[in-house]
Amino acid sequence: MQLTDEAIEALREHGWIKGSVWSPEGYCVLGALQSAARNSWLNCYGYGPGSRQQRETAMQIASMKLTEVVRALQVVLHEHGFPGDSVVDWNDKHAHDVDEVIGVLKLTGERMDQQTE
């Protein structure tokens, strides 16, 4: 499962918000992606056995995946007319509802799938 899919799950389960990365009401798009990356890391080694080096490597991989997804998200936003580079700015000032955010995350996941083919 891609980080975008896990972020979509987080938004559907917990809700979407503006103005903060996380709150009891949900996540912004970046917060949902960060949560997905954190879960990816925890599922690898965060709670299980493994050396400190293995856990640190898993954390670095999760961080690189998050960076890759955010860059792809920025490209998708540009392709759809958003002139800025800030995903947070888009989330807080331009996104209208959770369905729009989920749609953009789906397009981002599709773009990433095409890049790996």
pLDDT tens, position by position, 50-102: 677 777 887 888 899 999 999 999 999 999 999 877 999 999 999 999 999 99
Find the angle CA(95)-CA(24)-CA(55) to the nearest 5 degrees.
Answer: 90
Residues 6+ apart with CB under 8 A from 38: 62
Number of domains within the chain: 1
Q: Hunting for tokens 């903060």 — which residue is that?
A: 20
| H or E, element range at 26 | strand 26-27
Contact by Cβ (8 Å): 3, 40: yes
As a whole number of Å, the end-to-end CA separation of the chain is 16
Beta carbons of 35 and 45 less than 8 angstroms apart: no
pLDDT tens, residue by residue, 18-64: 999 999 999 999 999 999 998 877 766 555 566 777 778 878 888 99
Predicted structure pTM score? 0.89
Domain that holds residue 51: 3-116
